[in-house]
Amino acid sequence: MTGQGWSARGPRTAVVVGAGVLGLSTAWFLQERGVEVTVVDRAGVGAGASWGNAGWLSPALALPLNEPGVLRFGIRSLFDRAAPLHVPMTPNPALWRFLLRFAVRCRWPEWERVAKANLALSGKSLEAFDQLAGAGVDVGAMQAPVTALFENQKGAAGLIGELERLRDVGQDVSYRGLTGSELADWLPQASGRMGAAVRVDGQRYVDPGAFTAALADSVRARGGVIRSGFEVVDVRPRRYAVSVRSASTGSVSAQVVVLATGAWLDGLSRRFGVAVPVRAGRGYSFTVPVDEPVPGPVYLPGIRVACTPYKGALRVAGTMEFRGPDAAMRPARIEAIVASARPFLSGVDWDRRTDEWVGPRPVTHDGKPVIGATAAPGVYVAGGHGMWGLTQGPVSGRLLAEQITTGDPPGELRDFDPLR
């Protein structure tokens, strides 16, 4: 019965736990297949990592995290509180086990395995957004290249090498190198220190909060119910349904349940045989005014910072902080991003920051999300996309909806089996 719901014709009702991009996408595509959906969330629509991220729809930059240089970078970061990667020096055995399992995968053969697996999602990610837009969802996507800035050609060569490796595994990648003079014409905000750039074409960006809200509006307009303030404390498969109980607002039942709770996934999924750990890799963002409009997203690979045009200003997002998903914001992390990014960009008023935000990105130790059926009949999970949850969320929801309603996992989900 695992992965087939409770009806030979497929399930007619579903509860999705989690109102982020991934949960709402799954709900939307389940509706496309005739399933009645209820979405529950402990806070509300887009309250986790879906609101304040950089908003990139960038399959050509969905690079695996386990690039070998990350290991060396990570070791140095342990002794630098301002580094883009921050691991608190605390006696947390589960965190250190997770990081050790990630570290042993920081090799090029492992990188290529992750890249090949993720190609099943990244290769069709923009198509899924187009499907949503074609059905009336106000996606609001803008087409623009992503410009990566470097002080010299040597720095640019590292990113070009990764893009070539990604192309080798089958990802559609179009880029060109820019000299210092070409960069000055294309991106006036690049400071005089920037001597080279790589422009990655064919990418898009959105206002992630507005997109998530539009997706929720569409789910409601198609008959779905979204309940906020529903903190799930128990999920219990029964003979003909799965019951989801909240801490204070009662229960809801359906033939199938999808757990799409982001960085909080472990708390519910482990009891159903999901052994792949999901940790919170927390990212920070804020918005700053600019003297003139920025033509498109800007990437600062050396300091792991992403910048995106946002409401006439610039959203700046960065850092990877391994703390609990509910830990308080640490202003020092915002200051660290400002200090590291300031030399790269001019015409930016770094002192007039608004919308300071922290959100927990769900990261797995092997770089691959978990999408599919658990060991319990009628219970599915979706999560662990790391930094690429927005890019890969809709296509993941579409593929999972196919599995739920047909009983057969699509081949694209083979590498993301939650029971691996």
Q: For residue 193, what pLDDT is reported?
A: 94
Q: Report the SS3 class of residue 149.
A: strand
* CA pair distance 189, 175, nearest whole angstrom: 20
Q: State if pTM tops 0.85.
A: yes
Q: For residue 108, what pLDDT is reported?
A: 95
The list of the chain residues with pLDDT below 50 reads 1-8
The two three-digit tokens of residue 150, written as one number: 């470097």
Q: Which residues contact 16 (CB under 8 A, 6 or more apart)?
A: 23, 24, 26, 27, 30, 37, 38, 39, 40, 257, 258, 260
Q: For residue 61, what pLDDT is reported?
A: 96
Q: For residue 228, what pLDDT is reported?
A: 97
Give every strand in the sheet of 232-237, ordered side by side: 232-237, 242-246, 251-254
Q: For residue 123, what pLDDT is reported?
A: 95
Q: Taking CA 159 as the corner, what is the angle to CA 154 and CA 164, rounded to the nearest 5 degrees?
A: 115
User: What is the secondary structure of 242-304 as a DSSP string?
Assistant: EEEEESSS-EEEESEEEE--GGGTHHHHGGGT--S-EEEEEEEEEEE-BSS---S-EEEGGGT
List pLDDT tens digits, range 370-388. 999 999 999 999 999 999 9
Q: For residue 89, what pLDDT is reported?
A: 74
Q: For residue 84, what pLDDT is reported?
A: 76
* CA pair distance 211, 122, nearest whole angstrom: 19
* CA pair distance 240, 243, nearest whole angstrom: 10
Q: For residue 75, what pLDDT is reported?
A: 63
Give every strand in the sheet of 204-205, ordered side by side: 56-57, 204-205, 142-143
Rounded alpha-carbon distances, angstroms, from residue 92 to 87, 269, 324, 362: 11, 21, 11, 18
The two three-digit tokens of residue 342, written as one number: 């300031």
CB 250 within 8 A of CB 263: no
* Burial (CB count <10 Å: 0-12, 13-18, 19+), residue 231: middle
Domains of the chain, start order: 70-107+141-202+279-364 (3.30.9.10)
* CA pair distance 345, 189, nearest whole angstrom: 5
